[in-house]
């Protein structure tokens, strides 16, 4: 087509497509527009909409693979989406190529890993989950979406809904911990935060539920490794967060790298069609993970890219991320009748429908432009980040040294104390590190520059010459030592599996030296995963898990150690006593030979010879500067019929001298069921703020759904019988009740 007539054609197409697009087109209207557009598309153009590529300066988050000319692909209508484009100007440039230089001018969809913040970085997800504050979590997702949208991004690859019980796996930092119930609440909140009420609102973006499915259970905690579990276990423990995100209306789903029952997820028809689409009713579109179509060759289920593409098409996977198997072999597969054109139409339809829903046909530049100048780093949003960071921090040990009195001279030591980059964790969104406030700066602002002496002491894995001596000298002149220890960003997230979850030796040497001078030591643990902190506990007076706390790390830490904010974070992943206990989680099955009591030495029971079964810190655990007492657990409806809810109340009192927040937790056990059930499962929680001395009655409703599970009859259902429940501070709660569900 000559340029002028092409421009005319594109303009006319826009006029015809956009004049009638209003913010609230019904799905019927949208699909009518999609179908009209698809009538004009060639087979190759339809397949092109199913291809996602990277841009020239994109964030590269996987093996680079084959070189593809992105701009040329866009011009030829062989690309429907780009990922990882970092700048709004580049987004606009690529969009203009699609609009003005491709035959049909169909706008591109830009995706990015906005995992825990875009410009403003919130704590890593495992950290935020420790706040147990669903409203705050939704707010962080909403801010991330707003900032991302202003930078040209209309789609985030989040929330990660993968349950994991293995701290060797680096990606536990991206998830919400080990519990399906809490994970489901968080997944739902994040979808609402990203997508808001209306996708056509230019401040909302598409969410992506990932990694479907069971990616959080790789053998031996090694990333990308095989996953093998029963469907029953999958449905009971791993499915709930994905399902909750889908029920919350998540627009897209990402396939996982792993195989499931011997079939890689990207070509797994049971997962993608039977379960996701037919059973869970997912109506959006599915994207592969990076290169995971072609990786089916490495998995050994496809001999070449063409066979791999066929497997993914057959599983109704709409969009192919990064490898080019769809655009390379799609047409051929259709011509050879290995894949029907109907399948391609089906897949393309959903991608285009999403672009219409986002309003991209209405205004292809509605995301980005210079909106970011006013939308990013808003002061009120920085305050949300500070609040999220301090709510995430978990106090694990404290002999009374915290909160600080304020009059002490502080020696702030360690590799993370003044390190901006190390506050961002894995996945940094579009971070600008210079905007991060370090621990040092936060403490200086709160306590005064003159009251802090800072020494780095060592690097995360390397000694600094004279570092220990300098640190010891600073400590000697101070009243208290705040020592940052732990793991760097590079040990969090993708491709960051570890076989040791201890703090590196060089940092421990620093701790030992500091301990020898007898000053009180507060360890600030920077980590994206549970760690074995036995050594640190022996040498420290207090231990605070700060996670990778994000842009507002400094002020948040100052709030907590000064006592301006009373820590209320609670672990969402068990901290083991030793790595050998892994995988360890509170909601284990009972087994036929459960331990008689925690300290029993009886042989032939399910235990270790030399190590207790109990972790160092259980799920739900975390200290406060005040104390909470529980009493009066009442099962208000001790006998109910199937289909009825059970109502429970419990009193919680702030029995200390400071105001504080407590996460009241409710656990349930189905005593006798048709399949083995966990020792207990979280089925309710409420984060309550209590003034010193204040008492509150907290009520819970346990719904029939909460009591249901995947029964022996292969259905998600309730069974009659007795149930035990516990309410209290963590997963070891002892206040007990019982109720019966009658047939």
Among 58, 62, 233, 382, interactor with ligand NOJ by CB under 6 A = 62
How near is the Cβ of 59 to ligand NOJ at its closest, in Å? 7
Considering only 132, 290, 667, 709, the residue that binds ligand NOJ (CB under 6 A) is 290
| Best CA proximity match to 386, nearest among 441, 305, 312 | 441
Q: According to the binding rule CB under 6 A, does residue 720 interact with ligand NOJ?
A: no
For residue 175, the minimal CB distance to ligand NOJ (Å) is 11
Shortest distance, position 428 Cβ to ligand NOJ, whole Å: 12
DSSP string spanning 363-432? -TTSS-TTTHHHHTT-HHHHHHHHHHHHHH-EEEEESS-PSP-S-S-EEEESTTTT-SGGGS-S--TT--
Confirm if 626 and 728 have CB atoms less than 8 A apart: no
Specify the residue, 85 or 553, whose C-beta has the smaller distance to ligand NOJ. 85
> Which 533-562 positions form the footprint of ligand NOJ (CB under 6 A)?
none
- Beginning with the edge strand found earlier in the chain, give each strand of the sheet holding 208-212 in spatial order: 208-212, 252-255, 285-287
Which lies closer to ligand NOJ via its Cβ, residue 44 or residue 58?
A: 58
* Per rule CB under 6 A, count of chain residues that contact ligand NOJ: 9
C-beta of 125: minimal distance to ligand NOJ in Å? 12
Binding string to ligand NOJ for residues 81 to 100, with x set by CB under 6 A, is what?
--x-----------------
Q: Closest separation between CB of residue 425 and ligand NOJ, Å?
A: 14
- As measured in angstroms, the least distance from the Cβ of 252 to ligand NOJ is 11
Question: Does 494 engage in binding with ligand NOJ (CB under 6 A)?
Answer: yes
Give the containing element (helix H, strand E) for 639.
strand 639-641
Among 45, 147, 259, 289, binds ligand NOJ (CB under 6 A): 289
- Whether residue 289 lies in the annotated active site: yes
Minimum separation from the CB atom of position 565 to ligand NOJ (A): 32
CA distance 200 to 636: 45
Q: Does 612 bind ligand NOJ (CB under 6 A)?
A: no
Contact status, residue 208 vs residue 254, Cβ threshold 8 Å: yes
Please list, in sequence order, all residues whose beta carbon lies within 8 angstroms of the beta carbon of residue 605, skipping any fewer than 6 positions away: 593, 594, 595, 596
**Strand ranges, E, within 169-313:** 208-212, 252-255, 259-260, 263-264, 285-287
Residue 335: how many other CB atoms lie within 10 Å: 11
Structure tokens at 517: 């001078």
Of the pair 319, 682, the CB lying nearest ligand NOJ is at: 319
Q: Give the x/- contact pattern for ligand NOJ in 230-249, rule: CB under 6 A.
A: --------------------
Coil, helix or strand at residue 138: helix
Long-range contacts of 3-9 (CB under 8 A, 24+ apart): 6/103, 7/100, 9/103, 9/105
Active-site position among 113, 162, 166, 289: 289
What residues between 65 and 84 interact with ligand NOJ by CB under 6 A? 83
CB 33 to ligand NOJ: min, Å: 29
Closer by beta carbon to ligand NOJ, 136 or else 251: 251
Is residue 241 within 8 A of residue 161, CB to CB? The reply is yes
CB of 170 to ligand NOJ, least distance (A): 11
Task: Write the DSSP string, 61-78.
Answer: -S---S---HHHHHHTT-
436 lies in the binding site for ligand NOJ (CB under 6 A) = no
Decide whether 82 or 668 has the Cβ nearer to ligand NOJ: 82
DSSP conformation letters of 552-618: THHHHHHHHHHTSS------SS-B-SSGGG-S--TT-B--SS--SSTT---SSSSS-SSS-SS-SB-
The residue (of 81 and 654) whose beta carbon lies closer to ligand NOJ is 81
Q: Does 295 contact ligand NOJ by CB under 6 A?
A: no
Q: For ligand NOJ, give the closer residue by CB, 157 or 726.
A: 157
Would you say 83 or 472 has its CB closer to ligand NOJ?
83
For CA atoms 297, 300, 304, 310, give the dihedral sign: negative
CA 141/CA 146 separation, integer angstroms: 9
Q: Which is nearer to ligand NOJ, 173 or 453 (CB)?
A: 173
- For position 210 contacting ligand NOJ by CB under 6 A, the verdict is yes
Locate tokens 């207990």: which residue? 680
First to last CA, the chain: 72
Q: Is 153 helix (H, G, I), strand (E, B) or coil?
A: coil
- Closest approach of Cβ 453 to ligand NOJ, in Å? 41
Cβ neighbours for 170, distance < 8 A, ≥ 6 positions apart: 223, 426, 491, 492, 493, 494, 495, 496, 497, 498, 528, 529
Chain center to CA of 133 = 14
Mark 327-356 with x for binding to ligand NOJ (rule: CB under 6 A) and - for no binding: ------------------------------
Please say which residue, 290 or 361, places its beta carbon nearer to ligand NOJ. Answer: 290
Residue 259 within binding range of ligand NOJ, rule CB under 6 A: no
152 three-state secondary structure: coil
Work out whether 157 is an interface residue with ligand NOJ (CB under 6 A).
yes
Minimum Å gap between C-beta 284 and ligand NOJ is: 16
Query: Closest CB to ligand NOJ among 54 and 587?
Result: 54
Helix, coil or strand: residue 345: helix
Q: Does 113 bind ligand NOJ (CB under 6 A)?
A: yes
* Number of helices and strands in the chain (H, E): 23, 26
Q: Two tokens at 572?
A: 């969402």
Per CB under 6 A, the list member of 51, 61, 320, 392 interacting with ligand NOJ is: 61
Contact residues for ligand NOJ (CB under 6 A)? 61-62, 83, 113, 157, 210, 289-290, 494
- Residues classed as catalytic: 289
């Amino acid at each position: 087509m000559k340029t002028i007539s092409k421009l005319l054609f594109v303009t006319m197409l826009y006029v015809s497509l956009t004049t009638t697009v209003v913010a609230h087109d019904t799905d019927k209207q949208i699909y009518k527009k999609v179908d009209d557009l698809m009538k004009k598309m060639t087979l190759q153009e339809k397949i092109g909409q199913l291809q996602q590529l990277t841009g020239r300066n994109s964030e590269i988050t996987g093996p680079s693979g084959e070189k593809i000319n992105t701009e040329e692909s866009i011009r030829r209508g062989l690309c429907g989406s780009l990922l990882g484009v970092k700048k709004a100007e580049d987004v606009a440039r690529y969009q203009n190529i699609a609009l003005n230089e491709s035959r049909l001018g169909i706008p591109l969809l830009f995706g990015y890993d906005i995992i825990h913040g875009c410009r403003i970085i919130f704590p890593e997800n495992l950290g935020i989950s420790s706040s147990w504050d669903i409203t705050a979590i939704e707010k962080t997702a909403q801010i991330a979406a707003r900032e991302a949208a202003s930078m040209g991004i209309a789609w985030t690859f989040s929330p990660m809904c993968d349950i994991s019980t293995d701290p060797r796996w680096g990606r536990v930092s991206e998830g919400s911990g080990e519990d399906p119930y809490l994970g489901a609440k968080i997944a739902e909140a994040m979808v609402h935060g990203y997508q808001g009420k209306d996708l056509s609102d230019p401040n909302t973006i598409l969410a992506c539920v990932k990694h479907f499915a069971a990616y959080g259970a790789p053998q031996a905690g090694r990333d990308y490794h095989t996953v093998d579990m029963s469907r029953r276990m999958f449905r009971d423990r791993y499915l709930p967060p994905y399902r909750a995100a889908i029920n919350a209306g998540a627009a897209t789903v990402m396939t996982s790298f792993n195989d499931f029952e011997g079939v890689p997820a990207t070509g797994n028809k049971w997962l993608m069609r039977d379960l996701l689409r037919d059973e869970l009713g997912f109506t959006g579109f599915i994207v592969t993970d990076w290169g995971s179509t072609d990786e089916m060759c490495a998995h050994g289920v496809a001999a070449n890219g063409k066979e791999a593409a066929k497997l993914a098409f057959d599983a109704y996977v709409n969009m192919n991320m990064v490898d080019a198997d769809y655009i390379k072999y799609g047409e051929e597969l259709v011509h050879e009748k290995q894949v029907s054109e109907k399948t391609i139409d089906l897949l393309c339809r959903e991608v285009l429908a999403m672009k219409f829903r986002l309003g991209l046909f209405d205004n292809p530049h509605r995301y980005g432009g210079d909106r970011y100048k006013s939308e990013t780093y808003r002061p009120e949003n920085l305050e949300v980040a500070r609040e999220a960071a301090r709510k995430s921090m978990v106090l694990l040990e404290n002999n009374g040294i915290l909160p600080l009195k304020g009059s002490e001279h502080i020696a702030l030591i360690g590799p993370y104390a003044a390190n901006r980059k190390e506050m961002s964790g894995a996945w940094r969104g579009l971070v600008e590190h210079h905007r991060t406030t370090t621990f040092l700066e936060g403490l200086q602002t709160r306590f005064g520059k003159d009251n802090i002496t800072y020494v780095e002491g060592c690097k995360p894995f390397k000694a600094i010459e004279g570092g220990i001596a300098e640190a010891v000298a600073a400590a000697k002149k101070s009243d208290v030592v705040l020592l940052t220890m732990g793991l760097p960003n590079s040990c969090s997230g993708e491709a960051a599996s570890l076989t040791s979850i201890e703090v590196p030796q060089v940092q421990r040497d620093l701790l030992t030296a500091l301990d020898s001078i007898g000053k009180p030591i507060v360890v600030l643990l920077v980590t994206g995963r549970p760690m074995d902190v036995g050594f640190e506990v022996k040498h420290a007076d207090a231990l605070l898990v700060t996670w990778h706390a994000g842009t507002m790390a400094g002020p948040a830490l100052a709030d907590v150690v000064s006592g301006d904010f009373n820590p209320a974070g609670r672990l969402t992943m068990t901290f083991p006593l030793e790595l050998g206990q892994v995988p360890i989680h509170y909601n284990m099955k009972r087994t036929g030979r459960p331990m008689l009591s925690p300290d029993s030495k009886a042989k032939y029971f399910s235990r270790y010879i030399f190590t207790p079964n109990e972790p160092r810190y259980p799920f739900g655990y975390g200290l406060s500067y005040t104390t909470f007492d529980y009493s009066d657990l009442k099962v208000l409806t001790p006998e109910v019929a199937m289909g009825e809810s059970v109502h429970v109340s419990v009193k919680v009192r702030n029995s200390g001298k400071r105001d504080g927040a407590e996460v009241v937790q409710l656990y349930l056990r189905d005593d006798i069921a048709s399949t083995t059930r966990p020792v207990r499962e979280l089925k309710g929680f409420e984060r309550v703020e209590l003034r010193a001395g204040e008492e509150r009655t907290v009520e819970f409703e346990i719904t029939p759904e909460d009591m249901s599970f995947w029964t022996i009859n292969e259905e998600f259902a309730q069974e009659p019988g007795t149930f035990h429940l516990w309410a209290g501070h963590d997963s070891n709660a002892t206040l007990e009740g019982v109720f019966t569900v009658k047939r």
